[in-house]
């Protein structure tokens, strides 16, 4: 009798232990995946308890937003903005009309990110804790601004071989030639995102195209500092800058180019035979008859 009782207790303990191990195993990887996904997808624009970057600080966000709303917002923010979701529109307006990009996050990944926020960022900040004052950034030096300008327009190549910013972006500055129009115009990006926001974007691009462009070709710390310095300078001075107007100069250069090209074609073609060899032979035979 005593043996059977002990045996039942041992079996019960084993069953409970197995359940606990299984529960831990199920919860552990999800938490780890959520953290990894957050670092890959979200950390460039959001912090947890570190203050605002491009987007809001997500400390306590799971207490303010419904879980289903958060999951969908992570998956398809563009669709929610198109639907005029009130919370989504309010966030867009609060954060300088910089929309959260659709990063192609699956529902499973979005669920894992929300689970990570629940475990790590679930608590709201204590009301008595003052927000940390933003660090005062040192004024950029002239050398940093010049290097950033050269990196932006590609006269100096990035160390790891990434494409120059001007391939997709434009910034209004006297020293910069016309830039690309494939992505945002960056003249006032420093005012909209601030130094930490711009630095965060450069350190971990949240945009799929930018991620692909700089995959394994990240900026060095010196390049990041120089680009931030140049964008800060371009933002501050943009009222005094004029976009380059090539006007008649571009037209005259085009006409000259056409004339030079026509002259080269004429020069190369002046020695060409005006008729075929067979035609000459035929003409001689006709004349001899």
pLDDT, tens digit, for every residue of 200-253? 888 877 777 888 889 889 999 999 999 999 999 999 988 887 766 666 777 788
pLDDT, tens digit, for every residue of 38-96? 887 888 788 888 887 778 889 888 888 888 999 999 999 888 988 999 988 888 888 87
pLDDT of residue 28: 46
pLDDT at 193 over 60: yes
Greatest CA span in the chain, whole angstroms? Answer: 137
pLDDT of residue 22: 43
Those residues with Cβ within 8 angstroms of residue 170's Cβ, 6 or more apart along the chain or in another chain = 176, 178, 179, 180, 181, 185, 186, 187
pLDDT of residue 23: 40
pLDDT of residue 32: 54
Of 16-20, 30-34, 52-56, the range with the lowest mean pLDDT is 16-20
**In terms of pLDDT, which residue wins out, 59 or 196?**
59
| pLDDT band with cut points at 50, 70 and 90 for residue 24 | very low
- Are the C-beta atoms of residues 65 and 87 closer than 8 Å to each other? yes
The overall average pLDDT reported for the chain is 79
Alpha carbon distances (Å) from 105 to 77, 94, 114, 117, 199: 11, 24, 12, 16, 23
pLDDT at 18 over 50: no
pLDDT of residue 225: 93
Those residues with Cβ within 8 angstroms of residue 194's Cβ, 6 or more apart along the chain or in another chain = 53
| pLDDT band with cut points at 50, 70 and 90 for residue 4 | low
């Amino acid at each position: 009798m005593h043996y059977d009782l002990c045996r039942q207790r041992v079996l019960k303990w084993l069953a409970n232990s197995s359940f606990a191990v299984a529960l831990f195993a199920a919860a552990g990887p999800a938490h780890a995946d959520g953290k990894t996904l957050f670092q890959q997808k979200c950390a460039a624009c959001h912090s947890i308890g570190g203050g605002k970057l491009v987007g809001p600080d997500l400390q306590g966000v799971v207490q303010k937003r419904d879980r289903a709303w958060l999951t969908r917002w992570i998956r398809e923010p563009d669709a929610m903005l198109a639907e005029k979701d009130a919370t989504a529109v309010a966030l867009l307006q609060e954060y300088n009309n910089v929309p959260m990009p659709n990063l192609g996050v699956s529902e499973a990944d979005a669920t894992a990110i929300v689970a990570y926020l629940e475990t790590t960022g679930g608590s709201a900040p204590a009301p008595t804790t003052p927000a940390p004052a933003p660090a005062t950034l040192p004024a950029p030096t002239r050398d940093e601004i010049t290097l950033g300008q050269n990196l932006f327009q590609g006269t100096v190549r990035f160390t790891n071989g990434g494409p120059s910013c001007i391939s997709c972006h434009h910034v209004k500055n006297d020293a910069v030639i016309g830039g690309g129009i494939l992505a945002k115009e960056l003249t006032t990006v420093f005012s909209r995102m601030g130094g930490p926001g711009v630095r965060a974007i450069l350190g971990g691009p949240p945009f799929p195209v930018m991620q692909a462009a700089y995959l394994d070709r990240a900026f060095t710390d010196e390049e990041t500092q120089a680009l931030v310095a140049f964008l800060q300078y371009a933002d501050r001075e943009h009222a005094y800058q004029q976009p380059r107007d090539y006007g008649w100069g571009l037209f005259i250069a085009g006409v000259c180019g056409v004339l030079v090209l026509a002259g080269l074609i004429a020069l190369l073609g002046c020695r060409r035979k005006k008729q075929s060899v067979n035609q000459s032979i035929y003409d001689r035979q006709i004349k001899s008859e």
